[in-house]
Structure 1
Amino acid sequence: MSLFFKIPFDKKQIELAIESLELQTSAELRVYIERKKKNQHFSAFEQGLDYFNQLEMFKTEAKNGVLIYIAYKDQQCAIIGDQGIHQYVTEQFWQQQNRLMIDYFKQKKYNEGLINIIANISKELARYFPYQENDKNELDNEVIIK
């Protein structure tokens, strides 16, 4: 017997937001969503970093991959940017986006919050990693839901 849990995210809308981001910047973005953190001993950042490495997001040419990790039942999230991004985007920016996303989650506006955060990240990354005509999609845009 399989149990189906309805998640408060619209996968197609989120994937469209990722596609939109990748038309504005050469950076790559992935989203990983789970109900609760797999490892409760990890912080959201540590869990996200673990998935960042498992997904081999560090393999982009410009080291400009970003993972948004969400454990929505725990109301926790983390945004992990690769080393190429950290030389431009401040830790303050990532923390601000995390706080905004958690604020949305507290209001049960999961999908709206995530899409708005993706738009904010898109604007920031486009400043440092503008879209290039010969840009290729280095990472899958599919939202991972566990």
Structure 2
Amino acid sequence: MYLNDKQKQEISKEIEKLELQSSAELVAVVTKRSASYKYISSLLSISFLALLSIIFVFFTEISSFILLQIQLFVFILLYLLFEKFDNIIMLILPKAYKYSIAKEYANKQFSNLGLNRTKTNQALMFFVSLDEKYVEIIADETISSKISNEYFQEIVDAFILDVKNNQLSKGYLKAIQACSEKLIKEFPIQVNDENELANDVIELG
């Protein structure tokens, strides 16, 4: 659980408050991590093993059998180490790579959760991936046609700072409030408005 019940209720109420004045559909989504990165653990273990093997081959007279045993032991040890302390992987990986993984996952969830299939095409997803410190606001085509990415990026930049400071709930509330006036102005509530998406915070495993 990334948010307690009180925090979830506060976010849901803020979404409901906005949707009572705007036809836009807001969804808050949070996940701990956008990928398992297990292949990175294997890749790093193999890379270190290759370097170690070169050192043994060129600077020692160790037998092939002993070298093979050492390689196997070191690989298992490193792999288990990276698996147990997987935050090491997050520290090693470049920010741009982690962001690309999180962005791909965010877009996948936008589709999986049906945000791209609303009747008005006015869905908006506030996506957070905690381990990557990644935040993105994904807007459906109708919203994107009237509100620029630059506008949402300013909100995202402030949101990221809150995530880094372990203030996830505060970040969500500020982000929703920040875009409320613009959404209400551009997409005012309609007489026949239908709430197609739930206002509950969605926590992914």
Change (3 A) 1:39 1:84: farther
Alpha-carbon distance in 2 for matches of 1:63, 1:116: 24
Alpha-carbon distance in 2 for matches of 1:87, 1:123: 17
Q: Which of 194, 197, 200 is residue 136 of structure 1 equivalent to?
A: 194
Native 8 Å contact 1:68 1:80 kept in 2: yes
| Count of aligned pairs between the two proteins | 141
Partner of residue 163, structure 2: 105
Partner of residue 45, structure 1: 103
Partner of residue 137, structure 2: 79
Q: Which of 81, 87, 95 is residue 153 of structure 2 equivalent to?
A: 95
TM-score normalised according to structure 1 size: 0.87
The answer to whether the aligner puts 1:125 opposite 2:183 as a matched pair is yes
Q: CA RMSD in A?
A: 1.7
Alpha-carbon distance in 1 for matches of 2:199, 2:106: 17
TM-score normalised according to structure 2 size: 0.64
Partner of residue 22, structure 1: 19
Segments of 4+ moved more than 6 angstroms: none
Q: Which of 2, 5, 13 is residue 7 of structure 1 equivalent to?
A: 2
Alpha-carbon distance in 2 for matches of 1:77, 1:39: 18
Looking at secondary structure, tell me which structure has more helix per residue: 2
Amino acid at match of 1:32: V
Larger Rg over CA atoms: 2
Alpha-carbon distance in 2 for matches of 1:33, 1:97: 16
Amino acid at match of 1:44: A
The answer to whether the aligner puts 1:32 opposite 2:29 as a matched pair is yes
